[in-house]
């Protein structure tokens, strides 16, 4: 059931014109992954590679994410990966409040259909949008309960591109995430 509804969301996203980001995009980028995943990962917005291919986290940041997931024994096809906004902002600027608001319905629907056990917010944009948080450097690794959902806070994979120590941070956080998930499952 959720698979069919997710497919509907994908199609709506791919033709969406609810905000101005539709004017500059090549492709909208719907979420991707397993429709019954226990883990959902939320980034900021598509970058250049994602805009070209229409898939989330397929560029360099995606490569870093894959490395961290693999380190923690998480298989990419067993999770669901998406973004706060589904179209690339020009020059990768941070999405505006109005754009996030226009796109919010899709993300909320993805969460309610997949019902992940833990939602991993990656970076300040996702952290702020979903939890009203700031200062990811200080708050990464935290677990937050909100409106019946469980969230795990981590840094954005793009931050690790030229920073080996942040890649270590991301990798360690992914291990903590797995431990937390296993803890919930008992």
**Interaction of residue 45 with ligand URA, rule CB under 6 A:** yes
Q: Name the strand (E) or helix (H) holding 124.
A: helix 124-131
The closest residue (CB) to ligand URA is 43
Binding ligand URA (rule: CB under 6 A), the pick from 16, 44, 69, 152 is: 44
| 111 touches ligand SF4 (CB under 6 A) | no
Residues 6+ apart with CB under 8 A from 168: none
Which one of the spans 48-56, 79-87, 159-167, 176-184 is the region binding ligand SF4 (CB under 6 A)? 79-87
The reply to whether 28 sits near ligand SF4 by the rule CB under 6 A is: yes
Q: Residue 5 in 3-state DSSP?
A: helix
For 19, the 3-state DSSP assignment is coil
Characterize 85-123 residue by residue with b for buried, 16 or more Cβ atoms within 10 angstroms of its Cβ, and e for exposed.
Answer: bbbbbeeeeebeeebbebbeebbebbbebbebebbbbbb
- Compute the residue count for the chain: 186
Least separation in angstroms between residue 92's CB and ligand URA is 8
Q: Between the CA of residue 179 and those of 12, 80, 176, 182, what are the distances in Å? A: 35, 18, 5, 5
What number of chain residues touch ligand URA (CB under 6 A)? 13
Work out whether 56 is an interface residue with ligand URA (CB under 6 A): yes
Among 99, 120, 121, 167, binds ligand SF4 (CB under 6 A): 99
30 binds ligand URA (CB under 6 A): no
Among 84, 85, 158, 174, binds ligand SF4 (CB under 6 A): 85
Number of residues counted as binding ligand SF4 (CB under 6 A): 14
Would you tell me which residues interact with ligand SF4 (CB under 6 A)?
13, 16-19, 21-22, 28, 85-87, 99, 102-103
């Amino acid at each position: 059931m959720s698979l069919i509804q997710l497919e509907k969301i994908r199609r709506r996203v791919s033709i969406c014109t609810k905000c101005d980001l539709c004017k500059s995009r090549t492709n909208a980028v719907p979420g991707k992954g397993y429709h019954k995943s226990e883990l959902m990962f939320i980034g900021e917005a598509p970058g250049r590679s994602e805009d070209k291919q229409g898939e989330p986290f397929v560029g360099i940041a995606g490569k870093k994410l894959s490395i961290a997931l693999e380190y923690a024994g998480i298989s990419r096809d067993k999770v669901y990966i998406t973004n706060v906004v589904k179209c690339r902002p020009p020059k990768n600027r941070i999405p505006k409040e109005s754009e996030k608001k226009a796109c919010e319905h899709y993300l909320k629907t993805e969460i309610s259909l997949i019902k992940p056990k833990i939602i991993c917010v990656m970076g300040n944009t996702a952290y702020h949008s979903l939890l009203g948080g700031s200062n990811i450097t200080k708050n990464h690794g935290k677990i937050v309960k909100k409106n019946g959902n469980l969230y795990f806070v981590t840094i954005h994979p793009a931050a690790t591109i030229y920073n080996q120590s942040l890649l270590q941070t991301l990798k360690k956080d992914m291990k903590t995430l797995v431990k937390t998930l296993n803890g919930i499952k008992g």
